Amino acid sequence: MMRRKNSNKHFTRMGTRKKVHAFVRVRPTDDFAHEMIRYGDDNKTINIHLKRDTQRGVVNNQQTDWSFRLDGVLHDASQDLVYETVAKDVVSQALNGYNGTIMCYGQTGAGKTYTMTGATENYKHRGILPRALQQVFRMIEERPTHAITVRVSYLEIYNESLFDLLSTLPYVGPSVTPMTIVENPQGVFVKGLSVHLTSQEEDAFSLLFEGETNRIIASHTMNKNSSRSHSIFTIYVEAHSRTLSDEKYITSKINLVDLAGSERLGKSGSEGRVLKEATYINKSLSFLEQAIIALGDQKRDHIPFRQCKLTHALKDSLGGNCNMVLVTNIYGEATQLEETLSSLRFASRMKLVTTEPAINEKYDAERMVKNLEKELALLKQELAIHDSLANRTHVNYDPMDEIQIAEINSQVRRYLAGTLDEIDVINLRQIQEVFNQFRVVLSQQEQEVESSLRRKYTLIDKNDFATISAVQKRLASIQAGLVDADGHLVGEPDGQGFGFGVASLTTKAGKKVKSKKTVKEQPRLSTPPSKSVAFEDFKNERGSEINRIFKENKSILNERRKRASETTQRINAIKKEIDITKEALHFQKSLREKQGEYENKGLMIIDEEEFQLILKLKDLKKQYRTEYQDLRDLRAEIQYCQHLVEQCRHRLLTEFDVWYNESFFIPEDVQAALKPGSSIRPGMVPVSRIVSLGEDDQDKFSQLQQMMLPEGPDSISFYNAKVKTEQKHNYLKTTMGLQQARRK
Ligand code: ADP
Ligand code: MG
């Protein structure tokens, strides 16, 4: 099944393991070694028989017979048949997202290039390559539901150097176009290799021909034998569904590989360039074999891809998750039998390798986001409908704001303190926030414990008058009313607003005084307390009345809910009882019918038991109706109460916010107004008005503010900064003034 992963790319395993398909193609000859090469009737087996008494002096005990079973023997096969047999499926699978690799292996002159590229001057004798391009474009035409792009590249590997056969630059070699093989999460690619977008068959053909020409030119100018190089023509396919909701798209590669001649050149004492070529070829072909065999071994987790350029460049297209076909080109002549045997051995080893083809599926991130947005909108609508059907009003699913979070924090605190029995579940977001606030409260408590421990060690000796008086000076203004009976300064236990606290050495722990009354009128602190702490204060002070109503309504609501739940339970019980009674009645009835007591001319004769059941049923139904009516009334009441509670909560939180800002943040114009010489005197702008400004008022207010700034609006931030600094220093003064202003 398809899985969605975080990564952009993944393979979809189809779970079917496939073998590498290995075919043999015999080059036509008039001198075919009929006595040595025989094919099985299934046209898949090729048997080799070596004569014992050949001049080569084969030793008697040496093996003389071999039998190779492959996927097909192509003898006297047309190019057309070869394509049908070898390539057609691989190419059509590529359009479904499977990588495919077709390789021609064999001795030089055995027909690899003829098979892969074919005769470029003769259409009929064209090879796999042009036919694959044709098939790809034909399939694209047949698939109008998809937008499919085709790209091609043509790479040559010669003596472990990479050459771009489609480079637009004159072909001069690797120093000008230094290419490297690079791996990234998307796969492996050759950096610097030109990849050409081709929108039609013709373009693709031109590129192929250009590549062939370049290859020939290069073999001349660089004096290199093209049979000593590997060439890889790659067709890259990318298919996007034209259905916009389809997030997936597929990519695939078809690698058409014409390998270097497999003949063992090294053994006949080659020198210099030839030896070097031979070494490279032998190595890369044996590395290729090693890599493919390792890929087929499910127990192997390391595949030696990087040993040579050939396997490295083909890393994501060999064995593993792709369709692989090997064509082994052999000569039919007896003189070549040794190399033929070696080629056939290679083929039969490859045939044993299994692969697990998989689709290269990717996700279009942009389409995914769009689809998710759509889905989200739909789900929100669905939720709204669901809520209205379930009579759930006022349920908000938007992210919570600061006030709502503060409310939850307060609930959590009260819950922990034992003053709140339970926290009502509203929705998932709220539950998550409740847990979140548990964590917040916990960490705050930890911090408090820590800081109180620290405070313990910064005690000041009560006889150290100098220090005390200095501290007193600093605190005198803000701590008016916070002095305990002994006249000692006591640290605020909740201490959020205080940088430090001072306790008398002689004062025993626990003797700290915190009078609610004094707290009530105390000026606010220069560092405002956290909202959750302030909220508790607020509920004891200005918000006490609203809070009381809020609590009352909530307890009514809870009581009604409880009653509704009880009534529902009762109704269910009655319903059950009704069902049981009905069944019993039914049983009695059927019993009576069986006994034939029904005959007396329309007169119903029923026994006592049945009569009692009927009465009971009647009674139950009456009860049911009453309870049901009750439940309906209760539900209406609950809904109303819920509304009230919501209103109260809202009021409480809004008022709190006003109070909080008023108490801990002094609006700048009030600051200004309170300064000596200011044109606005205390009391001119009531705080409550400033804090609850409407849009229009806010506008007027900022105009007023700007008028008061002689340098114009640009200076606002400057002044704001200045005011904030002064705010710290003038805190007490302004707060006191403010309170006076409020009283007026
Ligand atoms: P390789 O690439 O393996 O070195 P080539 O494909 O160049 O070999 O083939 C060598 C020669 O044999 C070429 O002239 C080619 O046209 C010819 N040839 C190979 N296979 C066939 C075939 N099946 N039918 C006709 N000619 C062939
Ligand atoms: Mg060739």
Over residues 162-189, mean pLDDT: 73
Over residues 54-77, mean pLDDT: 79
Over residues 473-496, mean pLDDT: 46
- Cα of 35 to ligand 2 centre, how many Å? 28
Give per-residue pLDDT as tens, 118-171: 987 788 899 999 999 999 999 999 999 999 999 999 999 988 888 899 986 444
Ligand 1 atom closest to the Cα of residue 77 is 23
Please report which helix (H) or strand (E) contains residue 288, including its range: helix 272-296
Over residues 413-442, mean pLDDT: 88
Residue of higher predicted confidence among 722 and 300: 300
Ligand 1 atom closest to the Cα of residue 227 is 4
Residues of the binding site? 106-113
pLDDT of 283 > 80? The answer is yes
**Ligand sitting nearest the alpha carbon of 230:** 2
Most ligand 1 atoms within 8 A of CB, residue of 23, 27, 116 to mutate: 27
Over residues 53-59, mean pLDDT: 54
pLDDT of res. 690: 38
User: φ and ψ at 57, to 5 degrees?
Assistant: 70, 50
Bridge partners of residue 197, in order along the sequence: 151
pLDDT of 510 > 70? The answer is no
- Minimum CA distance residue for ligand 1 atom 5: 111
Over residues 244-257, mean pLDDT: 88
- Minimum CA distance residue for ligand 1 atom 25: 28
Confidence of residue 77 (pLDDT cuts 50, 70, 90): very high
Half-sphere exposure of 364 (CA within 13 A, CB side): 18
pLDDT of res. 78: 96
CATH topology assigned to domain 18-363: Kinesin (3.40.850)
Ligand 1: residues with CB < 6 A are 27-28, 106, 108-114, 227, 261, 329
Identify the residue whose tokens are 């539950």. 431
- Minimum CA distance residue for ligand 1 atom 10: 109
pLDDT of res. 718: 52
- Cα of 336 to ligand 2 centre, how many Å? 17
- Percentage of the chain surpassing pLDDT 70? 70
**Ligand sitting nearest the alpha carbon of 115:** 1
CA proximity to 620, closest of 594, 582, 658, 660: 582
Average pLDDT, the chain: 76
- Cα of 332 to ligand 2 centre, how many Å? 17
Task: Say if residues 166 and 214 touch (Cβ distance below 8 Å).
Answer: yes
Identify the residue whose tokens are 């210099």. 272
Give per-residue pLDDT as tens, 525-549: 456 677 788 888 888 888 888 888 8
- Cα of 313 to ligand 1 centre, how many Å? 26
Burial level of 174, CB count in 10 A (0-12/13-18/19+)? middle
Return the structure tokens found at 596.
């034939």
Separation of alpha carbons 656 and 419, rounded Å = 20
Confidence of residue 335 (pLDDT cuts 50, 70, 90): very high
- Cα of 167 to ligand 1 centre, how many Å? 26
- Cα of 108 to ligand 2 centre, how many Å? 6
Radius of gyration of the chain from Cα atoms? 45
Task: Say if residues 237 and 219 touch (Cβ distance below 8 Å).
Answer: no
pLDDT of res. 27: 96
pLDDT of res. 611: 82
Residues of the binding site for ATP? 106-113
Ligand 1 atom closest to the Cα of residue 26 is 23
**Ligand sitting nearest the alpha carbon of 122:** 1
> How is the chain split into domains, by residue range?
18-363, 373-457, 531-665, 692-742
- Minimum CA distance residue for ligand 1 atom 9: 111
Separation of alpha carbons 35 and 332, rounded Å = 11
- Cα of 28 to ligand 1 centre, how many Å? 9
Separation of alpha carbons 223 and 273, rounded Å = 10
- Percentage of the chain surpassing pLDDT 90? 23
Separation of alpha carbons 376 and 565, rounded Å = 33
Which three-class secondary structure state does DSSP give residue 5? coil
Fill in the DSSP letter of residue 35.
Answer: T
Ligand 1 atom closest to the Cα of residue 25 is 23
Give per-residue pLDDT as tens, 337-367: 999 999 999 999 888 887 777 788 888 888 8
Over residues 573-580, mean pLDDT: 89
Ligand 1 atom closest to the Cα of residue 258 is 2
pLDDT of res. 482: 44
Confidence of residue 10 (pLDDT cuts 50, 70, 90): very low
Lowest mean pLDDT among 431-440, 519-528, 592-601, 680-689: 680-689
- Minimum CA distance residue for ligand 1 atom 17: 111
- Minimum CA distance residue for ligand 1 atom 19: 111
Task: Say if residues 588 and 610 touch (Cβ distance below 8 Å).
Answer: yes
pLDDT of res. 715: 47
- Cα of 251 to ligand 1 centre, how many Å? 33
pLDDT of 237 > 80? The answer is yes
Over residues 37-51, mean pLDDT: 91
- Minimum CA distance residue for ligand 1 atom 15: 114
pLDDT of res. 318: 78
- Minimum CA distance residue for ligand 1 atom 18: 111
Give per-residue pLDDT as tens, 101-120: 999 999 999 999 999 999 87
- Minimum CA distance residue for ligand 1 atom 23: 27
Most ligand 1 atoms within 8 A of CB, residue of 81, 103, 114, 116 to mutate: 114
Which three-class secondary structure state does DSSP give residue 399? coil
pLDDT of 9 > 70? The answer is no
**Ligand sitting nearest the alpha carbon of 27:** 1
Ligand 1 atom closest to the Cα of residue 110 is 3
The residues near 664 (Cβ < 8 Å, ≥ 6 apart) are 524, 525, 528, 529, 534
- Cα of 687 to ligand 2 centre, how many Å? 92
Task: Say if residues 19 and 359 touch (Cβ distance below 8 Å).
Answer: no
pLDDT of res. 687: 38
pLDDT of 369 > 80? The answer is yes
pLDDT of res. 13: 47
